[in-house]
Amino acid sequence: MYEVEMKLYGDSCIVPVLVVPGQRDDLIIGTNVIRFLIHQLKVTDDYWHLVYSGNPFPECGKFIQELPDMIGTVKLRQSVTLLGKQEHLVWGKLSNNVPMSPGSTVIVEPTSSKSMPRNIMVGCVITPLWDDRWIPLKVTNLIAKPITLKRNSKLADVSPCLAVEDFEVFQGTS
């Protein structure tokens, strides 16, 4: 693994690069770099001109397309008992058919599913997406009695995060 300084589309960045013996591609630019570039490009007039001009460069289509609103829903893989009036670190997992890019930053928020367990609060977390699909959750039992969450309980929704500023709580703060 090396840290390489790159200049892409006029922006400089330091990128972690994994050297893989036998790899046939010269260089694969990951979503961590692409998302950084999109974030940087959105403040330029060239980006918006490209988006609204009917895209004269078809090869740019995938690069500038919008990110999905949600990556997937996190479920528990085993039942968990939460002690009364306490905060817990609970690990849930995304399903295997969810498109993902390991290392990307994601926002984990309480699920909008109607089957969300009652009397608990799931905290918003910004975390890297691991390639094993496990997601850390901050879960608080709001009542004094212990609560057991069943296996396969839907607890959180995972969304892409370009930058912490994209998270509404941080907008307008310094």
The domain ranges of the chain are: 2-64, 72-169
Task: Specify the CATH architecture of the domain 72-169.
Answer: Distorted Sandwich (2.70)
Q: What is the dihedral of CA 4, 7, 8, 13, to 10 degrees?
A: 60
Whole-prediction pTM: 0.58
Residue 124 near residue 167, CB atoms below 8 Å: yes
If we measure between CA atoms, which residue out of 23, 12, 152, 145 comes closest to residue 80? 152
Per-residue pLDDT tens listing for the chain (174 residues): 888 888 877 778 888 888 888 877 777 777 777 777 777 777 777 766 666 665 555 555 554 455 567 889 999 999 999 999 999 999 999 988 877 777 778 889 999 888 888 899 999 988 888 888 899 999 999 999 999 999 999 999 998 876 554 444 444 443
User: d(Cα 155, Cα 125) in Å, to the nearest integer?
Assistant: 13
User: d(Cα 5, Cα 16) in Å, to the nearest integer?
Assistant: 9
